[in-house]
Amino acid sequence: VRWMMYWIVFALFMATETFTDLLISWFPFYYEVKMAFVIWLLSPYTRGASLLYRRFVHPTLARKEKDIDAFLIRARERGYETALRFGKRGLNLAATAAVQAATKSQGALAGRLRSFSMQDLRSLPEQ
């Protein structure tokens, strides 16, 4: 549970740091403070990640639980519909390609057979 809390808080930190890094990275000792913060999150003595998770993240997730569940259900349904749509489209493309290849090869075979005259066919050894 401790590691789960750490990774959730760390992921949120990294997501916000991606945007704020451009704005505040020019502050003196910015990288040192950032490194100290990550160590504070990770340390078993300070339990920074547990503190932030229990104080901020968990209450927010608990308040938004129904919205998150509804979003996940919609995402699953849309994902299933999208997979079906792309699957049908892929099968249609494969079937079209197979029919086109068959008609082209059949036409080539018929043209090659037409190129033989009856004289050529009679001169073949009988086997």
Q: Give per-residue pLDDT as tens, 73-116.
A: 999 999 999 999 988 888 888 888 777 777 777 666 566 655 55
Band of residue 127 on the pLDDT scale cut at 50, 70, 90: low
- Total domains present in the chain: 1
126 in a structural domain = no
Asked whether residue 120 carries a pLDDT value surpassing 60, the answer given is no
pLDDT of residue 78: 92
92 in a structural domain = no
Band of residue 24 on the pLDDT scale cut at 50, 70, 90: confident
10 in a structural domain = yes
98 in a structural domain = no
Q: What are phi and psi of 45, to 5 degrees?
A: -80, -40
pLDDT of residue 65: 94
63 in a structural domain = no
Give the residue with greater pLDDT, 14 vs 110: 14
State the Cα–Cα distance between residues 104 and 96, nearest whole angstrom.
12
- The residue range of the domain holding 27 is 1-46
41 in a structural domain = yes
Asked whether residue 62 carries a pLDDT value surpassing 80, the answer given is yes
Band of residue 118 on the pLDDT scale cut at 50, 70, 90: low
pLDDT of residue 12: 94
Burial class (CB in 10 A: 0-12, 13-18, 19+), 17: middle
- Distance (Å) of CA 34 to CA 3, 25, 37, 38, 53: 20, 10, 5, 6, 18
> Considering the entire predicted model, what is its pTM?
0.56
